Amino acid sequence: MLQELHGKAKWLKLKRELTEDAKKIWIVAPIPRKYNKKVKAIEDGEEIEKIETVKYNAYRYVYVYDISHTKGDAIPLQTQDINSNDMGYLYEKLTSFSHIPVIEKELTGSCKGYYDSQKQEIAIKNTMSLNDKAAVLLHELTHSLYDDFDYSKDRNLSEVFVESVAYIVADHFGLDTSPCSFNYIIKWAKGDPKTVLELGSKIQTCANSFIEKLEKYEMQELQLAA
C-alpha cells in the first residue's frame, strides 16, 4: 500500500486533521548544528588566530502519521520514487568514493539495487533517475560499510538500520529521500517503534562516521583538483 507520511503540523498545512485513533510512527531525524571555535593558522608566514565554523548533526526521535490516519481535503499521493536528476553530482561522488565496484545493470521487478558481499560489488538499476540511483547507492554502501547484522536472522533490523543511516546521510548532502525512506523503514520495522528507537545510538554513530568519510573524501578531491 502506498503511504504518505508527515508530522501533525505538515498535515494541518495540507488541510487534513489527525483522526482520534492516529498512530505515531517514530523515525530518527537529523538536526543540523554549528558552532564557532578559535583556531591557529599560518598566513604569509605568520601565525594568526581565526574563527572557524564547525558543522555537525544532532539527532532526535520524531513521529509522523500516515495519510490513512488523517481526514480532510484530498491530496494527490506521492510516488515512492525520486524522479529527478538534480543530484547527479552526489551519485558520481558516491560512485568514485565506493571501496568496491559499482555497476549499473538491468534489474527486474521492484529490485533497485543490491550489495553482493561475495562478489564484492554493488549493482544499481540502470533505468532509474540520478537521484534514485544516489539514494539506492547510499543504502547499499551502508550495507557494505556498517551493516554487521546476521542477515539470515536479523534482516528486519538490518534493513531498518541501513535505510535510517542512508536517509540521514542523504539529508546532510541535500538529497531528500523521505518519499521512499519512510515507507521502507516502516515496512521492515513492521510498525513497531521500538525497532527504530533501540537502534538509535548505532544509527547516529554510523551516520556521523559516513558523513565524515564522505566530507574528507570530497576535500581530498578538491585538493587534487587545485
pLDDT tens, 48-74?
Answer: 888 878 776 666 777 777 777 888 876
159-170 burial, b at 16+ Cβ within 10 Å, e below that, comes to bbbbbbbbbbbb
> Please, is 88 exposed, middle or buried when counting C-beta atoms within 10 Å of its C-beta (0-12, 13-18, 19+)?
middle
pLDDT of residue 75: 62
Per the confidence metrics, is the pTM higher than 0.85?
Answer: no
CB-neighbour burial class of residue 200 (10 A; exposed 0-12, middle 13-18, buried 19+):
middle
pLDDT score, position 77? 47
DSSP letter at 67 equals: G
Q: Is 121 helix (H, G, I), strand (E, B) or coil?
A: strand
d(CA 6, CA 70) in angstroms, rounded, equals 10
| CA 171-173-174 angle, 5° bins | 65
Question: What spatial distance separates the first Cα and last Cα of the chain, rounded to whole Å?
Answer: 50
Tens digits of residue pLDDT in 78-107? 545 677 899 999 999 999 999 999 999 999
Question: Which DSSP state fits 127?
Answer: T
* Percent of residues, the chain, with pLDDT higher than 90: 42
CA distances, 128 to each of 88, 90, 193, 199 (Å): 12, 15, 31, 30
Residue 125 and residue 10: Cα distance in Å, rounded? 32
pLDDT score recorded for residue 173: 92
C-alpha cell at 8: 501533525
- pLDDT of residue 158 exceeding 90, the answer is yes
What pairing do the DSSP bridges indicate for beta strands 46-66 and 5-6?
antiparallel
In what side-by-side order are the strands of the sheet with 5-6?
5-6, 46-66, 25-43
C-alpha cell at 202: 548505532
Share the mean pLDDT of the chain: 84
* pLDDT one-digit tens code per residue, 2-40: 345 677 887 888 788 888 888 877 777 767 777 788 878
Domain map of the chain by residue range? Answer: 5-225
Q: Which helix (H) or strand (E) is 136 found in, with range?
A: helix 130-146
